[in-house]
């Protein structure tokens, strides 16, 4: 989870810096926009990570609670014997 927060922050910082630089903002404004974008993208990555983990846990629970299908080939061999 920490890794995804760091990746989100770095991506956000880079994107914020590039967009602000493309608008030809001053240096302090570029830094401010980059920091704000890093913060928002890290929050978004944390939310996405939590949603992803909950989905995986739910899928695992469903798979564990699902009854296993009967093996018809094995049943037919046992009934013939």
What's the mean pLDDT when you consider all of the chain? 86
- Predicted TM-score (pTM) of the model is 0.68
What is the per-residue pLDDT for 27? 87
DSSP per residue, 14-68: HHHHHHHHHTT--HHHHHHHHHHHHHHHHHHHHHHHHHHHHHHHHHHHHHHHSPP
- pLDDT tops 60 at residue 81: no
Return all residues near 8 (Cβ < 8 A) that are at least 6 apart. 38, 41, 42, 43, 44, 45, 46
- pLDDT tops 80 at residue 58: yes
- pLDDT tops 70 at residue 80: no
- Of the pLDDT bands very low, low, confident and very high (cuts 50, 70, 90), residue 5 is confident
- What number is the average pLDDT over the span 18-22? 91
């Amino acid at each position: 989870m920490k890794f995804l927060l760091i990746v989100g922050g770095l991506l956000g910082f880079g994107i914020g810096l590039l967009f602000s630089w493309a608008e030809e903002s001053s240096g302090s404004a570029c830094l401010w926009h980059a920091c704000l974008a890093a913060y928002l993208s890290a929050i978004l990555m944390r939310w996405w990570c939590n949603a992803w983990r909950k989905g995986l846990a739910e899928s695992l629970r469903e798979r564990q609670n699902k009854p296993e299908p009967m093996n018809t080939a094995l049943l037919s061999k046992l009934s013939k014997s």
